[in-house]
Amino acid sequence: RGRMLTHEECTDERIKDRLSSDDNRINRFLITDSNDPVYLTQKDVREVQLAVGAVKVGTEVMME
């Protein structure tokens, strides 16, 4: 299973500055660079993957 890289592990300079860890050492990726930052974590990615799978299965069942 894949995982989000840490700032130190990232070799792509274009995104390296957007990777950080929070106070609980959870890796996160900065989505917006504003006064109210929005971060994406590995948990967020996994939840989106599960939601996409559920929608796909639901669509397949409805098409039968």
pLDDT score at 40: 95
* Model pLDDT for residues 4-54, shown as the tens digit of each residue: 999 999 999 999 999 999 999 999 999 998 899 999 999 999 999 999 999
Q: Which residue bears the tokens 């070799």?
A: 11
Contacts of 20 (CB under 8 A, 6+ apart): 7, 27, 28, 30
DSSP 4: P
pTM of this prediction? Answer: 0.73
- Pick from 10, 53, 49, 51: nearest CA to 28: 10
